[in-house]
Amino acid sequence: MPKLELQGVVKRFGDRTVCDGINLTVDEGQMVCLIGASGSGKSTLLRCINLLEPIEDGAIFLDGEDISIPGLNPQSVRARIGIVFQSFNLFPHMTALENVMLAPRRVRGLTRAELQPEVEALFARFGLADRMHNYPDQLSGGQQQRVAIVRALAMQPEVMLFDEITSALDPQLVGEVLDVLLMLKKQGMTMVMATHEMGFAREAADKICFLDSGRIIEEGPPEAVFDHPSHQTTQAFLARALK
């Protein structure tokens, strides 16, 4: 049974169809990279998986359980699926530590003291031990994005979604964030990421999905998609992206 499965997911904003019948399976511990031009529906798809956007048609399964039933309380699902955004979205009025502790305290019902060892270990693991008490505006973009990842991980999610998390970073800061993803992969985290980092996708992904106009028009292992794209649109996109 796949960890995460999407069947014919359709998402519309008004007259505009952003996801047009997407099928996708993600196995436990797999890293799936969504690539494609801006506006091809990658971000929206991730937001749909996290139930931030209700879907019009189709279904989403987590461990074989339909999580897209209309009217289902999304809270428990979101606690199991973490998401990290392009623009970090840290809470500016809280320190890094408070950012990370908020959801476990509220949702998992733990006290600060109970969380302290676990959270400190997370900060240490991602090289942020001395940044715990800083506010977001005192951190670099790379640090902020790593705190955002720690914040999502503190909920102990089963699946992590990454929405172009390096796109807003200065080039020299991209590496430190991608390294974090490699660490997570090594630990066996199931991950879906939308990215423009083709080099990274090729190196690290287990599966590449190429999206165009809300459909996955090509998918497969990185070598197959990058080296022998069968679809003309994919070829054109890769030619531009890898130039």
Partner 1 sequence: MTRRERYEAHQRRRSLVIATISTVTVVAAIYFLVPLAPGWSKVQQSFFNGETLVKTFPKLLEAFRINVMIFLWSAPAIAVLGLLIALARDAKSPALFPLRIFGAAFTDIFRGVPVILTVYLIGFGIPGLGLPRPWNSPYIWGSLALILTYSAYVAEIFRSGIDSVHHSQRAAALSLGLSERQVMRDVVLPQAIRNVVPSQMNMLIALQKDVSLLSFIGPVEIFRQAGVFKSLLANFTPYVGAAIIFLIVTIPATRYADHLMARQMRERR
Residues at the site binding partner 1, with contacts judged by CB under 8 A: 47, 50, 52, 74-76, 78-79, 82-83, 85, 87, 89-93, 102-103, 106-107, 148, 151-152, 155
Instruction: Please report how close the Cβ of residue 67 comes to partner 1 at its closest, in angstroms.
Output: 13
Cβ atoms within 10 Å, residue 99 = 24
Measured from the CB atom, is 63 or 206 closer to partner 1? 63
C-beta separation of 104 from 157 below 8 A:
no
Measured from the CB atom, is 193 or 208 closer to partner 1? 193
Whole-angstrom distance, CA of residue 157 vs CA of residue 7: 22
Instruction: Please report how close the Cβ of residue 137 comes to partner 1 at its closest, in angstroms.
Output: 8
Whole-angstrom distance, CA of residue 241 vs CA of residue 225: 13
Instruction: Please report how close the Cβ of residue 213 comes to partner 1 at its closest, in angstroms.
Output: 24
C-beta separation of 126 from 139 below 8 A:
no
Which residue from 15, 5, 90, 12 is spatially nearest to 53, judged by alpha carbons?
A: 12
Instruction: Please report how close the Cβ of residue 39 comes to partner 1 at its closest, in angstroms.
Output: 18
Instruction: Please report how close the Cβ of residue 51 comes to partner 1 at its closest, in angstroms.
Output: 9
C-beta separation of 101 from 109 below 8 A:
no
Measured from the CB atom, is 89 or 213 closer to partner 1? 89
Measured from the CB atom, is 10 or 79 closer to partner 1? 79
Beta bridge partners of 6: 24, 60
Q: Which amino acid is at 49?
A: I
Measured from the CB atom, is 109 or 171 closer to partner 1? 109
